[in-house]
Structure 1
Amino acid sequence: MSDFNKDEYLNDLPDMDDLSGQAAPAAASAADGASAASADSAAGATQEGAAQPAAAQSQENGDSAAADGADKADAADGKADDTLTPLGQAKKEAAEYLEALQRERAEFINFRNRAQKEQERFRQHGIIDVLTALLPALDDIDRIREHSEMDDSFKAVANKIDKAFEKFGVEKFGEKGEDFDPTKHDAILHKPDPNAEKETVDTVVEAGYRIGDRVIRAARVVVASPQN
C-alpha cells in the first residue's frame, strides 16, 4: 500500500475560480429563460387588452358611418333644393300647395256628402213622425170618401192634405184589383173567389204609405184567392 501524499492531493483539486465561472453561465441562462417567459406573457396580455378596444372602436366606427350616411342624405336633399332655380323652386312649392289643396277639397266633399245624407235621414224621420201621427185622421178621410158624399169645402181640405204629403215624397198605395204583394200588403182576410186566377186585392181596408222604397205602413187588404 502506497503512502498518502498530502501535497499531491491538494494539487489535483480543481481551482475555485473555474467552478464559479461554470455556475455563473448556468444561472444567467436560467434568468434569461424566466425573462423571456415573462416577456411573452406580457405581450399576450397586451394583445388581448388591445383586441377589446379595437372591437369597441369598430362598433363606434359603424355607428359613425350610419350617422354620416343620414347626414349626407339630408345634405343631398338640401343641396338638391339649393340647386333649383327660383322658377323651379316656385314650381315645386306650387305643386306641394296644389296637392294639399286637392286633399283638403276631397275631405270637404266627403264631409258635405255625409252631412247631406244625415240631413235627408233626419228629414225623413220628421216626415215619418208626422205621417204616423196623422194616419188615423187620413184613414177617416178615406172612409168618408168611400161611403159618403163630401161637400166641396171638406173635399178641398182633404186634397190639400194629400198634396202636402206628396210634396214631401209620401206615396199612397193600395187599390182594388191589383196583384197581392206580401211586401207591401197586409192580408187581414183571404176570400175564395171562383173567378180569381191569382191572388188579388179585393178590398182596401186601410191604404198604405211609403217614402221611396221604404214602406211606412203596409196596406191592409182583403185578398181574393183562387179556390183551387
Structure 2
Amino acid sequence: MSDFNKDEYLNDLPDMDDLSGQAAPAAASADDGASADSAAAAAGATQEGAAQPAAAQSQENGDSAAADGADKAGAADGKADDTLTPLGQAKKEAAEYLEALQRERAEFINFRNRAQKEQERFRQHGIIDVLTALLPALDDIDRIREHSEMDDSFKAVANKIDKAFEKFGVEKFGEKGEDFDPTKHDAILHKPDPNAEKETVDTVVEAGYRIGDRVIRAARVVVASPQN
C-alpha cells in the first residue's frame, strides 16, 4: 500500500472561490424559477379577478336589457295612445263608443224579437183557451142558424161574436160540397153516393176553427164517397 500524501490530496481539492461561483448560478436559477412562478400566479389571479367583474357586468347588463324589454312591451299601448293627437284620440274613443253602442243595439233588437214572439205565443194560447171554452155555444149558434130562423137581435149578437173571433185571427172552416181533406176534416160517417166522383163534404156537423196554419179543432163532417 502506497503512503498517503497529505500535500497532494490538498492540492487536488477545488478552491472555495470556484465552489462559490458554481453554487451561485444554481441558487440564482432556483430564485428565478420561484420568481417566475410567483409572477405567473399573480398574473392568473389578476386575470381571474378581472374576469369575474366582467362576467357579473355582462349578466347585469343582460338582466337590465330584459327588464327594459318588458317595460317597453308593457308600455307599447300607452305610447301608441300618447303618439295620437287630441283629435286622433277623440276619434278613437268615438269609434269605441260607436262599436259598444252597436253591440248594445243588436242585443236589444234580439231581446225585442224574442219578447214579441213570446207575447204572440201567449196571446194565441189565451185565444185558444177562450175559443175552446166557447165551442159548445158556437156550435149551438150554428145549429140555430141552419135549422131555424133567428130574430134580428139574436142574429146581431151571433155576428158580433164571429167578428170578434175574426179580429183575433180565428177562422171558421167547413162547407158543404168542398173536397174532403183529412188534415182539417174529421169524418164521422162515409156514405156512398152514386153521383160522387171523389170524396166530398156532404154535411157539416160541427164547424172547424184554426188560427193561421194551426187547426184548433177539425171540422166534423159526413163524407159522400164514390160507390166503387
TM-score of the two chains, using structure 1 as the length reference = 0.72
What is the CA–CA distance in structure 1 between the aligned matches of 2:80 and 2:42, rounded to whole Å?
Answer: 56
- Name segments (4+ residues, structure 1) moved above 4 Å: 1-70
Q: What is the SS of the residue equivalent to 1:40?
A: helix
What is the CA–CA distance in structure 2 between the aligned matches of 1:9 and 1:99, rounded to whole Å?
Answer: 123
Q: What is the SS of the residue equivalent to 1:191?
A: strand
- CA shift, 1:224, in A, is 1.1
Q: What is the SS of the residue equivalent to 1:181?
A: coil
Aligned to 1:222: 222
What is the CA–CA distance in structure 1 between the aligned matches of 2:50 and 2:197, rounded to whole Å?
Answer: 107
Counterparts in 2 of 1:85 and 1:203: CA distance versus 1, 3 Å:
same
Larger radius of gyration: 2
- CA shift, 1:199, in A, is 1.1
Aligned to 1:107: 107
Q: What per-residue deviation string (whole Å, max 9, x for no partner) do you get for residues 60-84 of structure 1?
A: 9999877754532231211111010
- CA shift, 1:194, in A, is 1.5
- CA shift, 1:22, in A, is 19
More divergent stretch after superposition (57-66 vs 77-86): 57-66
Q: What is the SS of the residue equivalent to 2:30?
A: helix
Counterparts in 2 of 1:3 and 1:103: CA distance versus 1, 3 Å:
same
Q: What per-residue deviation string (whole Å, max 9, x for no partner) do you get for residues 149-172 of structure 1?
A: 111111111001000100111000
Identity of aligned residues (%): 98
More divergent stretch after superposition (132-141 vs 14-23): 14-23
Q: What per-residue deviation string (whole Å, max 9, x for no partner) do you get for residues 90-126 of structure 1?
A: 0000000000000000001111111111111111111
Q: What is the SS of the residue equivalent to 2:183?
A: coil
Counterparts in 2 of 1:210 and 1:18: CA distance versus 1, 3 Å:
farther
Counterparts in 2 of 1:12 and 1:90: CA distance versus 1, 3 Å:
same
Q: What per-residue deviation string (whole Å, max 9, x for no partner) do you get for residues 26-74 of structure 1?
A: 9999999999999999999999999999999999999987775453223
Counterparts in 2 of 1:225 and 1:77: CA distance versus 1, 3 Å:
same
Counterparts in 2 of 1:103 and 1:62: CA distance versus 1, 3 Å:
farther
Instruction: Tell me the number of residue pairs that the alignment of Structure 1 and Structure 2 aligns.
Output: 228
Counterparts in 2 of 1:147 and 1:100: CA distance versus 1, 3 Å:
same
**Is 1:150 aligned to 2:150, yes or no?**
yes
Q: Structure 1: 5+ residue runs without aligned partners?
A: none
More divergent stretch after superposition (43-52 vs 146-155): 43-52
- CA shift, 1:14, in A, is 20
Q: What is the SS of the residue equivalent to 2:189?
A: strand
Q: What is the SS of the residue equivalent to 2:75?
A: helix
- CA shift, 1:191, in A, is 1.2
Q: What is the SS of the residue equivalent to 2:190?
A: strand
- CA shift, 1:226, in A, is 1.4
Counterparts in 2 of 1:112 and 1:21: CA distance versus 1, 3 Å:
farther
- CA shift, 1:225, in A, is 1.2
Counterparts in 2 of 1:85 and 1:10: CA distance versus 1, 3 Å:
same
Counterparts in 2 of 1:82 and 1:203: CA distance versus 1, 3 Å:
same
Q: What is the SS of the residue equivalent to 2:149?
A: coil
- CA shift, 1:187, in A, is 0.9
Q: What is the SS of the residue equivalent to 1:46?
A: helix
TM-score of the two chains, using structure 2 as the length reference = 0.72
Q: What is the SS of the residue equivalent to 1:9?
A: helix
Aligned to 2:165: 165
What is the CA–CA distance in structure 1 between the aligned matches of 2:139 and 2:56, rounded to whole Å?
Answer: 94
